[in-house]
A and B are shown apart, each in its own frame.
Chain A
Amino acid sequence: MRLVEEFEAGLEAPICITWELTYACNLACVHCLSSSGRRDPRELTTAEAKGVIEELERMQVFYVNVGGGEPTVRKDFWELLDHAAAHRVGVKFSTNGSRIDAAAAARLAASDYVDVQVSIDGATAAVNDAVRGPGSFDTALGALERLAAAGFEKPKVSVVVTRQNAGQLDDFKAIADRYGAQLRITRLRPSGRGADVWDELHPTAAQQRSLYMWLLEHGEAVLTGDSFFHLSAYGEALPGLNLCGAGRVVCLIDPVGDVYACPFAIHEEFRAGNVREPRGFEGVWRDSELFAELRRPQSGGACGSCGHYDACRGGCMAAKFFTGLPLDGPDPECALGHGAGLLAARGAEATIPAPAVDHSRVRPAAGPARGRPAPVKPSPGRPARAGGAAAARPPAKVCDEDPLAEFLAAGGAARSAAEA
């Protein structure tokens, strides 16, 4: 069996998982895949999180991709990093940089098993801050500077490719080079708040083509989060393993312990279970109906007869789902245009699924519906604050500040007491 086929059938344990530690975030990026902003009162406690780490160790999950929200706003962030290292689970975490001060940078430089990724979505403050908020570009570069000064080796600079930044790829590479970092560019999906801005932000077909050519040329040095396999239909396959690993090689654990097939698919349709169940994460990974279904051989549906199916595998499940396209058909950004054709042919009344949870602090009054004219430019929300200070205005809910404020949830007080 080929490697791809073995992976598609599912593994004994994930190779890695995405773990969103909190829905709290000091930024309000317009395209946030997890609709983050406010902490959820039901978020895993420190003890529960450590339990998950120990379970991952038993299963031999090799590493976790930690994010959120902004994971560093959790008060136990460093404690959890240390716990993972002590339990042979590698950590790669993503941050907007707001809490990477000199001390944090030094601490990271002294650690062997932590990889750090700083997010930017523009090679200039103008392009970046339009998506991530005023000051966020400077915050990110400041973090990269401090990491470099502390001798942290090879952080990553991670970019979501948009219509507005697709022409800046060389500039992103230059920024990464400047800070001794590796560049990572990933695909924008219509997930979370991304659904609201996808029409305006996702790259044009022409930009996709250019992106593909650029990746062919720079692919060895640039990471892609394995997110551009749908572009393989343009020609030769891109470096990396071109397949969707959701529920087979990877999955997501969200801040309240829900297990989803992937971080772009936070919806009941793709929820496999919760780590708080008696069977735990391992039981969910091994026995959930959803994952069993994803591990069955896929025919490709309408794409199966396309000559490029072998390379593109029908594209991204989440991209199809959150644009209201059928899962057994083309990706909305299908290189051959089949997805765009379907979207255009579909009526304006098509239903777009909403994400399962929304922790945004600022929302547009009404999101755009597909097929209707896009609204005025998206709001970037509250400005980022360098140095990671907490919210300037009083929090609407206690959970904005206190990770253990679970009194709103049933049994939360008991959990908090047990944790103390």
Chain B
Amino acid sequence: MGSAPDGPTGPVAEDEDEAAAEQDLLVEDVSIDGMCGVY
């Protein structure tokens, strides 16, 4: 299921969080159901 990492990101922690996010989220499952294509 696709999801964005959430939680506050301060200026100092942001780089580290992004690096960690990069490592852990190299592959992300995406769940879309046509994106409002009604069909």
The complex places the Cα of A252 from the Cα of B33 at a distance, in Å, of 15
What 1/0 flags go to A2-19 for Cβ under 8 Å of B? 111000000000011110
Q: Assuming the A-B contacts A15-B32, A240-B32, A241-B30, are A263 and B2 also in contact, with contact meaning beta carbons closer than 8 angstroms in the complex?
A: no
- Residues on B with beta carbons closer than 8 Å to the beta carbon of A239: 1, 31
Taking CB as reference atom, which chain B residue is nearest A236?
B6
Q: How many residues of A contact B (CB 8 A)?
A: 38
List the count of A-B residue pairs having beta carbons below 8 Å apart: 90
A225→B37 contact, CB < 8 A: yes
Contact present for B37 and A3 (CB under 8 Å): no
Q: Across the interface, name the chain A residue whose C-beta is closest to B31.
A: A240
Complex Cα spacing A252 to B39, Å = 11
A250 close to B36 (CB less than 8 A)? yes
- Asked, given contacts A3-B30, A225-B34, whether A65 binds B1 with beta carbons under 8 Å apart, the answer is no
Closest CB of chain B to A251's CB: distance in Å?
9
Give Cα distance in the complex from A3 to B22, angstroms: 11
- Is B24 interfacial (CB 8 A cutoff)? no
B38 close to A (CB within 8 Å): yes
* A249 in contact with B35 (CB, 8 Å): yes
Per the bound structure, the CA–CA distance linking A114 and B39 in Å amounts to 13
Decide yes or no whether A270 CB sits under 8 A from chain B: no
Q: A3-B2, A4-B4, A240-B1 are in contact. Are A227 and B36 (CB under 8 A)?
A: yes
Inter-subunit contact B35/A16 (CB<8 Å): yes
CB-based contact A244/B31 at 8 Å:
no
Q: Which residues of B contact A2 (CB under 8 A)?
A: 4-5
**Roughly how many angstroms separate A249 CA and B33 CA in the complex, as a whole number?**
11
A33 neighbours in B (Cβ, 8 Å):
38
Q: Within the complex, what minimum Cβ distance (angstroms) separates B3 from chain A?
A: 8
The CA of A250 and the CA of B32, in the complex, are separated in Å by: 11
| Residues of chain A at the chain B interface (Cβ within 8 Å) | 2-4, 15-18, 33, 65-67, 92-94, 117, 158, 160, 184, 186, 223-227, 237, 239-241, 244-246, 249-250, 252, 262-264, 316
The 5 closest A-B pairs by CB, nearest first: A245-B35, A18-B37, A94-B39, A65-B39, A65-B37
23 residue pairs bridging A and B, Cβ less than 8 Å apart: A2-B5, A3-B4, A15-B32, A16-B34, A16-B37, A17-B37, A65-B39, A92-B39, A94-B38, A117-B39, A186-B38, A225-B38, A226-B33, A226-B34, A227-B36, A240-B1, A240-B33, A245-B32, A246-B35, A249-B32, A250-B35, A263-B36, A263-B38
